[in-house]
Amino acid sequence: MRLQLRAPARVLGSLGRPAHRRTRSALIAGAASLVLAFARVASAQVAQVDTAHTFYHEAPTRTNMTVYTPGVDVAVTPAEWVTVRGGYEADIVSGASVATKAGSAYQSVNPGVDVITTASVKDFRHSPRGGFTLRKGDVAYTASYTYGTENDYKSHSIFVGARTDAFDHNTQFELSYARNFDSVCDRVQAVEDTPPRFRALEDSSGCFTSEERRRRRALSIDGFQASWTQAWTPTFASQLVYTAQLLDGFQSNPYRSIIVAQGLKAQEHHPDVRVRQALALRFNWYLRPIKVALRLTGRVYRDTWDITSGTGELEAERYLVEGLRLAARGRFYRQTGALFWSDDYTGGEPPLGPKGQYFTGDRELSPFWSLGLGARVTYTIHPTAKPEGGTARLLGIFTNAKLGSSADVMQFSYDEYTLAGVPITNARAYIIGATAGAAF
């Protein structure tokens, strides 16, 4: 949303009055002069308001998860060289997740026993954020801060980035760095216990208080990203993005227990350090004969937990009428399992069996593939320019407005992940999105 900043209609005079009134008048005049000067610089500048809402739902065997994510961002550009922005996002989570995980080998020696347990999940994550961008010539510097808080997790995140145009604006380079200082709530364990005897966190009561049964586990995340965007022809552009991330600290789900031996279940135990790297290459190609923009993305990923993945995405978009765009997209994803992934740590034939000192019940660390299909509609309104000149406005307020809606469905196919030997064949996620934005 773009907000035109206007100069005040008049400036107060101040001469020929008593001293205290002169002082007050001088202050008012000074403040008005500042506003006037500021407004003069900002006379052609704008404010933008955007809101986005995402609704996620899945209900595979024995579990379900619904997440509603509303977000709003405001960006104000009071002068050409600076943009200030602030925003807020939330995650409202409800559902039921696996609390105790076992595989087929354990179930086969304990027939008739329901070894899998689930627990209801309810959480509310609040995340306010703010930042600014400074511009000088072809270079822009951005810095921002994001705070995240929920019952069992707190996060402070800082971001700095620089972007520059080169080669007659046909090329853009961008470098950024982000650092998270996170805290995870965990249960205090007995001093003499080791991870195979650790007990899972029962619930979030007492988290981040002086409650003696609770403790904070630290997690620091360093992220680095570099990108190169290039226009090659009037209808073809590419983008290369490299991302590296170093995580150091507690990365397990504190609520999840794994059956690691006969009659022994323990809190999930992941390594403390993880280094992740991804390289993505994108192409945007406008096909003039059929007036369609094609977007093709390929991404490869690898980390020190031995997960390797490949992602392919294809999106086609075109205008149906002026301002109204329709996009269709498809996504294929395939990953290998983590080095310490096993569907059953109690035994069985490979790939089952123990995998060293770590154990997990996280299906996202198991080998699987997923297929996603979706569509998006976007409608942008630009008011018709006035014949007499000046800024055209919609309803006398907005210089432009945008509405969008999307729907995606994703099907997950797990190679090894089971719940006590029962494969999960109905893991399907539905994602609905809605966006609105306007410039004052």
Partner 1 sequence: MEGHKLAQVLLATLLVFAAGCVTVKPQQRSVLADPIMQFEGDPQASAQLRHAIDNREGSYGGGGVAGGGCGCN
Stretch 236-255 residues interacting with partner 1 (CB under 8 A): 237-239, 241-245
Structural contact between residues 195 and 269, judged by C-beta atoms closer than 8 angstroms: yes
User: What is the nearest approach in angstroms of partner 1 to the Cβ of residue 198?
Assistant: 23
Contacts of partner 1 in 131-190 (CB under 8 A): 165-172, 174
* Distance from C-alpha of 181 to C-alpha of 183, rounded to nearest angstrom: 7
Given 38, 132, 181, 228, the residue binding partner 1 (CB under 8 A): 228
**Residue number, 8 or 298, with CB nearest to partner 1:** 298
Q: How many residues bind partner 1 (CB under 8 A)?
A: 78
The separation between CA 155 and the C-alpha centre of its own chain, rounded to angstroms, equals 13
Structure tokens at 159: 């971001």
Cα 298 to its chain centre, rounded Å, is 19
Q: Tell me the HSE value of 308 on the side-chain side, using a 13 A CA sphere.
A: 1
- Residue 150 or residue 265: which is nearer to partner 1 going by CB? 150
Minimum CB separation from partner 1 for residue 423, in Å?
17
What's the min distance (Å) between Cβ of 223 and partner 1?
8
Interactions with partner 1, residue window 196-225 (CB under 8 A) = 223, 225
DSSP-derived pairing of the beta strands 257-261 and 82-101: parallel
Task: Of 42, 48, 33, give the one whose Cα is nearest residue 87.
Answer: 48
Closer residue to partner 1 in complex, CB, 261/314: 314
Looking at residues 67 to 126 of the shown chain, list those that interact with partner 1 (rule: CB under 8 A): 67, 69, 71, 73, 89
For residues 181 and 35, what is the distance between their CA atoms, to the nearest angstrom? Answer: 38
φ, ψ of residue 30 to 5 degrees: the values are -60, -45
> Would you say 237 or 259 has its CB closer to partner 1?
237
CA–CA dist 203, 186 (Å, integer): 9
Site for partner 1 in 4-43 (CB under 8 A): none
- 54: contact with partner 1 by CB under 8 A: yes
Beta strand pairing call for 47-58 and 422-423: unpaired
Contact status: 3 vs partner 1 (CB under 8 A): no
Q: Does 235 bind partner 1 (CB under 8 A)?
A: yes
Told to check if 45 binds partner 1 by CB under 8 A, we report no
The secondary structure element, H or E, covering residue 65 is strand 64-79
Per CB under 8 A, contacts with partner 1 among 277-296 are: 277-280, 282, 284, 286, 293, 295
Cβ closer to partner 1: 86 or 347? 86
Considering only the stretches 185-193, 254-262, 263-271, 304-312, report the one whose residues sit in contact with partner 1 under the rule CB under 8 A: 304-312
Q: Which of 197, 276, 393, 428 lies at the binding interface for partner 1 (CB under 8 A)?
A: 276
- Report angle CA 317, 319, 323 to the nearest 5 degrees: 125
Preceding omega of 351 cis (within 30 degrees of 0)? yes
Which is nearer to partner 1, 214 or 404 (by Cβ)? 404
The answer to whether the beta carbons of residues 58 and 427 sit under 8 Å apart is yes
Structure tokens at 13: 């005079």
Question: Footprint of partner 1 on residues 417-436 (CB under 8 A)?
Answer: 429, 431, 433, 435
Residue 283 token pair: 């192409």
**Complex with partner 1: residue 40 or 126, whichever CB lies closer:** 126
Q: Which one among 335, 342, 346, 399 touches partner 1, defined by CB under 8 A?
A: 335
Closest CA to 368 of 294, 310, 440: 310
| Window 340-399: residues binding partner 1 (CB under 8 A) | 364-365, 370, 372, 378, 380
- 317 part of the interface to partner 1, by CB under 8 A: yes
